[in-house]
Amino acid sequence: MPDYAFPAWDAAKKALAKTALDNLRTAVGSYLVNLTPLERKKYFKLGNERIPFVEKANETAHQHTGALPSNFSLTKFDNLDSIRTELSEIMNYGSDIFEGMNDAIMLAGVEELNMSNDIYKYFKITAKADTPLNGQVAEMGKVYKKTGNRIEPTGVTVPAGASIKLNGLQKLSHVVNSGKTILTCGCPDELSGKLKPFDAVDIQPGESFQLPAGHTTIIITNKDAGNPGEVTVKIA
């Protein structure tokens, strides 16, 4: 994951953003509607492919108003068109802001989780000599196991002649060949998700493979077509 250099958080920015959203809510509040999921499904909706039809209907109606029945409100029709197009423009204008915030929230959370795992790893070592810390580390361990944020498999089987992928491993972990077959280990290409042949390394029984810096996913292939293999992952 790229290391994004986020600036220090400024509480004033939060207040400024919330004020801007309050102003937006005031501006468009009378047009906001909250439909239920069932209500959203039941309507025959105006998709992009039907917009030309609506635009042509609007144009024709204005050119031949006399052909419309007296109870047809062209004023209402025009107002609905304005609501749809203007609110769409406002949403599109601000869409990059909310998409950017969603991505920032995700990336900040990913790195926060990685650093939390580092804290847990460091404290597990320190706790051995620091009795008061033992209880807190034990509590962290309980949460760690419940959430399953990191995969720390023991004795994972690699089927004969097959490959497995382990995701979410601790950075710089060691994958130990704890079985009796020869295994090929390597990290997948970030774009294709496939293992590059020239990056694959053969691991003999008892030997280990350390994940390169920045990688948390590994592909393991059992070269023995007749017998299953086994791996154990150990935190660096």
Q: Is the pLDDT of residue 198 over 50?
A: no
Distance CA 234, CA 30 (A): 58
* Residue at 46 is within a domain: no
* Residue at 119 is within a domain: no
* Residue at 175 is within a domain: yes
Q: What is the pLDDT of residue 1?
A: 46
Distance of CA 95 to the CA centre of its chain: 18
Residue 50: phi, psi to the nearest 5?
A: -100, -5
* Residue at 138 is within a domain: no
Cα Rg of the chain (Å, integer): 29
* Residue at 74 is within a domain: no
- Give me 186's structure tokens: 């390597």
231 has which bridge partners? 156, 177
Q: Domain of 222: which CATH number?
A: 2.60.120
Please give the residue range of the domain that contains residue 217. Answer: 156-234
For 22-37, the pLDDT digits (tens) are 999 999 999 998 888 7
For 48-88, the pLDDT digits (tens) are 788 899 999 999 999 999 999 999 999 999 999 999 999 98
186 has which bridge partners? 219
Q: What is the pTM (predicted TM-score) of this model? A: 0.52
* Residue at 196 is within a domain: yes
* Residue at 169 is within a domain: yes
Lowest mean pLDDT among 10-14, 16-20, 24-28, 185-189: 185-189
Distance CA 89, CA 204 (A): 61
Do the beta carbons of residue 74 and residue 68 sit within 8 Å? yes
Q: How far from 50 is each of 53, 72, 130, CA to CA, in Å?
A: 5, 21, 69
Number of residues that make up the chain: 236
- Residue 148 pLDDT level (bands cut at 50, 70, 90): low
Distance CA 62, CA 68 (A): 10
Q: Among 137, 21, 44, 42, which Cα is nearest to 90's? A: 21
For 166-193, the pLDDT digits (tens) are 777 777 778 888 888 898 888 876 545 5
Total structural domains within the chain: 1
What 3-state class would DSSP assign to 169?
coil
Which amino acid, 107?
A: L
Do the beta carbons of residue 187 and residue 206 sit within 8 Å? no
* Residue at 164 is within a domain: yes
